[in-house]
Amino acid sequence: MSRTILRFTGAYDLLSPADKLALYCRNESSESADSVSAVVADIIVRVKRDGDTALMELANELDRVDLPGIEVPNELCRAAYESLSPSLRRAMERSARNIETFHRSQLPAASSVVVEPGVEIGRRPDPLKRVGVYAPGGRAAYPSSVLMGAIPAKAAGVSEVIVCSPPGVTGLPDDSILAAAFLAKVDRVFAVGGAGAIAAMAIGTPTISGVDKVVGPGNAYVAEAKLQLASFVAFDSPAGPSELLVIADDSADPRIIVREMLAQAEHDPRAVVIVVTIGDSLPPLIEEILATEIDAAARSQIIFQSLSQHGGVVSVRTRDKAVAISNQFAPEHLMLAASDPEDLLADVRNAGTVFLGQSSSVAFGDYMTGANHVLPTGGLARSYSGLSTSDFIRWTSFQKVTPEAASRFATDVGEFAKAEGLHAHAAAALGWRGPRR
């Protein structure tokens, strides 16, 4: 190849310690973390202090648009939906149906158990009252993110779902965003973007009521706003640039692997795409095809930046080693392009979502299968899951102790309470000691 396209190549075991560390570390930012933090802190202060006025001023300063108002009338969302081309409307409606079908299947049920005679403990799922969905603008509009955030919330029984998305030159979010909001039965839409939108949904303004939870992807400023406002409202899992890790054996078609690499790399110059091959026959084929395909891609410059800074094709000798690398990497998207992907899946522990077989394109999951594409990145799949119906539900626990059981509890609870120096607790328990009066 005439130029170095991939940052990491060769046998994994021969990578230098520094390269191995860099392969797993995805928390680098192209922007100064201190600068982003300071800008976001200032925006939050302004929204707290000036509410809607601050949002209008931020639209002028950051989006270069004078807003006539921050709320988008519902009839404009309907008009955007009705103006969709028949082919795009059909695709969006199909996506919406599959998202609803899958997420309704996750609805939990109340449960209770008698832990000992006279003592019943249970939990009841209650939907959140109000949820905010953030839909990014900037490089592109993502109506799929509106569907992925709003439809599961509605399926969970959330009373009110709002969407915030940056205004374009017309003073409105992209028509595709408005159409998706109408299709997802969103209650209110606001032409507000970035950290200001997150602050408005978290804190509330005269026009935008504060919500119980905010979900949806965004840039570094959106992510930082979520961190700074975590004491005000709940958020989904932290999300950064897109990630794909592929485990491929000799049964995989290298052309398909390259297509998947290009698809994920075109998201963002900071997107991370790693292929781990079992054996060393695939890497030269993948690299050869990649060298011929990258320049023909519509977003070739973004793809090249992504792969040259964060991309790699590395080989290992065994399936167990490939899975161990994946579990340590904890990718947002994991594709198992192997002859028996279900067998590999049994050992996968840390991944946002797993695609079984090379025909299970990540693009299908991004748009159409119904699984959620709002997923943890940066290795956080070790502790976070993808967005689901359960993210829009809180649990109310309940406990019932009969008088007879209270009498039996009294002495032991009294002992516990006295040991902790809580004598009023002990008295409350010991009052039930002895025969019920």
* Reported pTM: 0.92
158, with CB counted inside 10 A (0-12, 13-18, 19+), is buried
User: Following CA atoms 22, 25, 30, 35 in sequence, which dihedral angle do they give, to the nearest 10 degrees?
Assistant: -130
Q: How confident is the model at residue 2 (pLDDT cuts 50, 70, 90)?
A: very low
Q: Where are the domains of the chain?
A: 8-26+241-370, 33-235, 402-430
Give residue-wise pLDDT tens across range 347-380: 999 999 999 999 999 999 999 999 999 999 999 9
Q: How confident is the model at residue 3 (pLDDT cuts 50, 70, 90)?
A: low
From 103, 267, 310, 333, active-site residue = 333
Q: What is the mean pLDDT of residues 87-111?
A: 97
- Residue position matching structure tokens 């928390």: 27
Decide yes or no: CATH 1.10.3720.10 for domain 33-235: no
Give the rounded percent of residues in the chain with a pLDDT score beyond 90. 91
333 is catalytic: yes
Mean residue pLDDT across the chain: 94
Report yes or no: 58 and 67 within 8 Å, Cβ to Cβ. Answer: no
From 116, 332, 342, 420, active-site residue = 332
Q: What is the mean pLDDT of residues 125-142?
A: 91
pLDDT exceeds cutoff 90 at 254: yes
- Residue position matching structure tokens 């609803």: 100
Q: What is the pLDDT of residue 219?
A: 87
CATH assignment of 8-26+241-370, among 1.10.150.130, 3.40.50.2030, 3.40.50.1980, 1.10.10.10:
3.40.50.1980
332 is catalytic: yes
